[in-house]
Amino acid sequence: MGKSILDYETLELSESERALVIIDQTKLPGKTEILHLKTQKEIWTAIHELQVRGAPAIGDAAAIGAYLAALEINTEDGTEFQKRFFEATAYLDSSRPTAVNLSWALRRMEGVAHEALARGTSVREVVELLRCEALRIKAEDIHICERIGAYGLELVKPGDGLLTHCNAGQLATAKYGTATAPMYLGHERGYRFKVFADETRPLLQGARLTAYELCSAGIDVTLICDNMASSVMKNGWVQAVFVGCDRVAGNGDAANKIGTSGVAILAKYYSIPFYVCAPTSTIDFDMPTGADIPIEERAAEEITEMWYKERMAPKGVKTYNPAFDVTDHTLVTGFVTEYGVARPPYETSLKEIRKKMRESA
Ligand code: MRU
C-alpha cells in the first residue's frame, strides 16, 4: 500500500542538513511536497504563509527554528550569544500573531538559554540544551494530543455525528491533532463516527487538510461548505462539535479559525455540545478576556481571487479578512485539555488545570 499523508511527519528536525523539514500544506491535497528550510527567513516565511500551520505545529516549528538559529551564532561569548539568540526568537515570534503557542515555545527556548548561561554553561552546551528542548516540545505535543484524544472520547458515543471546523488535525500538530484526536482514537476502537468537516473559507483548511487526513485514515467524513453547518445540525446529524484553538483567555473566551464562533452559536441554538480542544500551551493566563487577543488580518486576495479560475469580486471592492474569531466562553461546553475537561466557570476550572499542569511538571 502507498504512503498515506498520515505516515509523514508534519515537521521534523534534520540534524544532518541543519534544516526544519515540513510538508508544504499550501500544496495539499494535490501535491505532497517536502520542504527543507535552512534559513531563518525561510522558516519565518513558511509560518507566515501557512506552509506549516496550526497552533501546536507552529510552536514546534518555531522551537526547531530557534535551535537552528542558535547553531548559526558564531561566538563563545555567553552575553553576545544570548543577545543574538533573543533577536532570532523575536524575529520568529513576529511571523504570526494569534496562536500563543508560537511565543510560548519561543519563551521556553529563551528560558533554557538564559538559565543555562546564568549558571555559567558554555555556549556549545547551551546549543545542545536548546536542541533537546526543541525535540522535547515536539514530543510533548504528541503525548498531549493522545491525552486530549482519550479525554475527548469520553464525551461521545459510538455512531455519533461530529462536526469540526478548520484543521485541528495531525497536520496542525506533531501527530493525531487536537480536535481530531478523539476521532482517530474512536476509529481505532470501532466507534464508527460520522464526521462533518466545514470547508473553512477562505483558505479551505477543512476541505484541503481535514477531509484529506480523515479520508486517508478511513474515517467516514462528509465535507460541507461553512454555510451548511446549520442544516446538518437541524437534521439531527451532529451530536457534538470539536474544534481546536489558537489562544484561550483566562475567562474561557477562545480564539480559533474564522467562523468558529458562528459554529458555536449554531451549536448552542441546536443544543449540541461545543468542545474546544486546548493543550495547556494554548491557554494564555496573562489575558483575562478574549477582547485583547490579537487577530491576524490577511490579504484581500484570499477572498477575491484565491482558488477561483478568475477573480470573483469587483476590482477595488473593500474587503475584511480576519483569520480568526473569538468564541465567547458562554458558548463553550468544555475545554478538552491534556489534564482533563474544564467546565464552566472557566476562571476556576482553567486555574485547576494549570494547577494539575504545575504539579505534574
Ligand atoms: O490559520 P491556521 O490554519 O493556522 O489556523 C489553524 C486553526 O485555527 C486551528 O484550529 C488551531 O490552530 C488549532 S490546531 C490544533
- Does residue 191 sit in the same domain as residue 314? yes
User: Closest ligand 1 atom to the C-alpha of 178?
Assistant: 15
Question: What confidence score (pLDDT) does residue 1 get?
Answer: 67
Q: Is 124 found in the same domain as 196?
A: no
Q: Is the CB of 55 under 6 A from ligand 1?
A: yes
Ligand 1 pocket member 56 (CB < 6 A):
yes
Backbone phi, psi, residue 337, to 5°: -115, 175
Mutate to test the pocket of ligand 1, among 245, 295, 336 (most ligand atoms within 8 A of CB): 245
Q: Is the CB of 137 under 6 A from ligand 1?
A: no
Pair (128, 195) in one structural domain: no
Dihedral angle, C-alpha 258, 262, 263, 267, nearest 10 °: 160
Mutate to test the pocket of ligand 1, among 205, 248, 336 (most ligand atoms within 8 A of CB): 205
Atom of ligand 1 nearest to the CA of 324: 8
Q: Does 151 reside within a domain?
A: no
Q: What is the CATH number of the domain that holds 84?
A: 1.20.120.420
- What CATH number does residue 196 fall under? 3.40.50.10470
Check whether residue 160 and residue 141 sit in a common domain: no
| Residue that is last in its domain, among 125, 145, 165 | 145
Residue minimizing CA distance to atom 15 of ligand 1: 168
Nearest ligand 1 atom, CA 203: 3
Residues 140 and 210 in one domain: no
Say whether both 36 and 89 belong to one domain.
yes
Ligand 1 contact, 178 CB (< 6 A)? yes
Q: Is the residue at 150 inside a domain?
A: no
Count the domains in the chain.
2
CA distance 167 to 214: 11
**pLDDT tens digits for the chain (361 residues)?**
689 999 999 999 999 999 999 999 999 999 999 999 999 999 999 999 999 999 999 999 999 999 999 999 999 999 999 999 999 999 999 999 999 999 999 999 999 999 999 999 999 999 999 999 999 999 999 999 999 999 999 999 999 999 999 999 999 999 999 999 999 999 999 999 999 999 999 999 999 999 999 999 999 999 999 999 999 999 999 999 999 999 999 999 999 999 999 999 999 999 999 999 999 999 999 999 999 999 999 999 999 999 999 999 999 999 999 999 999 999 999 999 999 999 999 999 999 999 999 999 8
Q: Single out the catalytic residue among 246, 253, 284, 325.
A: 246
Say if ligand 1 is within 6 A of residue 172 CB: yes
- Does the CB atom of residue 11 touch ligand 1 within 6 A? no
| End position of a domain, from candidates 145, 166, 197 | 145
Same domain? For 308 and 172 the reply is yes
User: Are residues 123 and 220 both part of a single domain?
Assistant: no
Which distant-in-sequence residues (6+ apart) come within 8 Å of 333 by Cβ?
273, 274, 275, 343
Q: Is 198 among the catalytic positions?
A: no
Structural domain boundaries, residue 19: 5-145
User: In the prediction, which pLDDT does 2 show?
Assistant: 80
Evaluate whether residue 78 is within a structural domain. Answer: yes
Question: Does residue 22 sit in the same domain as residue 44?
Answer: yes
Cβ 173 under 6 angstroms from ligand 1: yes
Q: Does 134 reside within a domain?
A: yes
Query: Residues 214, 197: contact at Cβ < 8 Å?
Result: yes
Q: Please give, one letter per residue, the 3-state secondary structure of the chain.
A: CCCCHHHCCCEEEECCCCEEEEECCCCCCCCCCEEEECCHHHHHHHHHCCCCCCHHHHHHHHHHHHHHHHHHCCCCCHHHHHHHHHHHHHHHHCCCCCCHHHHHHHHHHHHHHHHHHHCCCCHHHHHHHHHHHHHHHHHHHHHHHHHHHHHHHCCCCCCCEEEECCCCCHHHCCCCCCCCHHHHHHHHCCCCCEEEEECCCCCCHHHHHHHHHHHHHCCEEEEECHHHHHHHHHCCCCCEEEECCCEEECCCCEEEECCHHHHHHHHHHCCCCEEEECCHHHEECCCCCHHHCCCCECCCHHHHCCCCCCCCCCCCCCCCCECEEEECHHHCCEEEECCEEECCCHHHHHHHHHHHHHHHC
212 CB-side CA count, 13 A: 23
Q: Is 271 exposed, middle or buried (0-12, 13-18, 19+ CB in 10 A)?
A: exposed
